[in-house]
Amino acid sequence: MRLTALLPVAAAVVLAAPAPAGAAEVEVIADELDNPRHVALAPDGDIYVAESGVGGDPDTSRSCFDSAEGPSCTGATGAVTRIARHHHGYRQHRVISGLASFAPEDQSNAIGPHGVFVDGHRLLVTNGGPTAPTRGDPPVLVLRDPTLVSEEPVSRLYGTLLEFSKWGGARLVADIWRFERRFNPDAEVGNPMIDSNPVDVYSAHGRTVVADAGGNTVLRVGRHGRVRLLALFPNVTVPDPFGGDPIDMNAVPTGVVGGPDGAYYVSQLTGFPFPVGGANVFRVDPSTGAYTTYASGFTNAMDLAFGHDGTLYVLEIRRDSLLSENREGAILAVPPGGGTPQEIDLPGETLIEPGGIAVGRHGDLYVSNHAREARLGEVLKIELDD
């Protein structure tokens, strides 16, 4: 992997999207990103976005397999981009590159760097991993260790939490995939497959937690990389929309943030069949891992972020479900302390499969857009009406 100095910035592209009267003002502050996912705001105001990359070239990659995303290949194309204010606009610069990524041949819907957290001294990044990669007919499972790593060494980054310091250092903080292989906590709720896809990270007051979408867990990471289970989300039985037997739907946590009350808040994508209104935001006790439902009625929630007044913003990657042909996403606001979510009014087709959200110091929202597309990804600045 390559880490560029976190201070200088390079050339940028700044575009503006005019909004109709009465609607929020939307500005594109970064573009040409590869499958951008979560975003984070640094104390100095810079914005960081994780790029899941474009996978590997099928003609040269030594590690190709069948995946939930389709036939895919591994490559060292995952990255993190920084967006910094420059004069009256913004400049973007890819500050980390060479992370693990896999994607189908069209380079869409890649899996790679996903969660990002930044404070004054370090940048934390989760590198996701493949769900049940297989080969052959009948399909045979191929695990990260030893198979995928022996084929493409960058695969060792799948399922990990990484730290990058502003002084140029990089280190492995925790191997989330190895924890899943050894303990597989959600096997006890009916999910025996070894499946780890860490998608978000939050750190404060000496505590670091990771949301593992594949493992349906929130995990605590200790100072020396020890991983422990904090919360496990069970399956929920839902109707089959195609008329079959009821389905045991996975929880699939996607984002974790600290709330104003010191608890952790976790967004939920849900697994197949991705029902409309079937996702929740959970409140997790940081000491015991006990959780309650803080807000409900979301569809395929991808990320969440608190505003300074306690409003919780929840980002939906598709407002009408991942099974719908409508690719529009949405942002819903939960009032301080909880309550009924209200959708934020945005110009039509502003959000197309958005992937991550952060709140700026002045209440502006920063959202990654076109999160499942290569070279078409963006970061939007959304200035809300008072």
Q: How many CA atoms lie within 13 A of 340 on its CB side?
A: 1
* Mean predicted confidence (pLDDT) in 148-161: 98
CB–CB of 341/334 below 8 Å? yes
Record the tokens describing residue 237, joined without a space.
């039985």
Q: Is the dihedral of CA 29, 198, 276, 298 positive or negative?
A: negative
Task: Write out pLDDT tens, residues 85-112.
Answer: 888 889 999 999 999 999 999 999 999 9
Domains and CATH numbers, the chain: 2-383 (2.120.10.30)
Task: Write out pLDDT tens, residues 318-332.
Answer: 999 999 999 999 999
The one-letter amino acid code at 34 reads: D
75 phi/psi in degrees, rounded to 5? -150, 165
The one-letter amino acid code at 138 reads: P
The one-letter amino acid code at 212 reads: D
pLDDT score, position 132? 86
**CB neighbours (10 Å) of residue 149?**
18
Give the chain's length: 386
pLDDT at 138 over 90: yes
CA distance from start to end of the chain? 43
| 353/344 Cα distance (integer angstroms) | 16
User: In which element (H, E) is residue 5 found?
Assistant: none
* Mean predicted confidence (pLDDT) in 346-365: 96
Q: Is the dihedral of CA 314, 315, 321, 323 positive or negative?
A: negative
100 phi/psi in degrees, rounded to 5? -75, 135
Q: What are the distances in angstroms from CA 278 to CA 12, 174, 304, 353?
A: 39, 31, 16, 18
Three-state secondary structure call for residue 349:
coil
Share of the chain above pLDDT 90, in %: 88
**CB neighbours (10 Å) of residue 187?**
13
User: In which element (H, E) is residue 232 found?
Assistant: strand 227-232
Task: Write out pLDDT tens, residues 205-238.
Answer: 999 999 999 999 999 999 899 999 999 999 999 9
**CB neighbours (10 Å) of residue 229?**
16
User: Considering just the CA atoms, what is the radius of gyration of the chain in Å?
Assistant: 19
Average pLDDT, the chain: 93
Record the tokens describing residue 41, joined without a space.
């705001």
- Where do runs of H (alpha helix) occur along the chain? 149-151, 176-183
| 286/284 Cα distance (integer angstroms) | 6
Confidence of residue 1 (pLDDT cuts 50, 70, 90): low
pLDDT at 10 over 90: no
In sequence order, the β-bridge partners of residue 3 are 96
Q: What is the DSSP letter of 29?
A: E
Q: What are the distances in angstroms from CA 39 to CA 83, 206, 245, 299?
A: 10, 21, 38, 20
Task: Write out pLDDT tens, residues 241-291.
Answer: 999 999 999 999 999 999 999 999 999 999 999 999 999 999 999 999 999
Three-state secondary structure call for residue 52:
coil
Q: Is the dihedral of CA 338, 41, 343, 210 positive or negative?
A: negative
Record the tokens describing residue 250, joined without a space.
């996975």
pLDDT at 19 over 60: no
pTM for the whole structure: 0.93
pLDDT score, position 87? 84
CB–CB of 322/331 below 8 Å? no
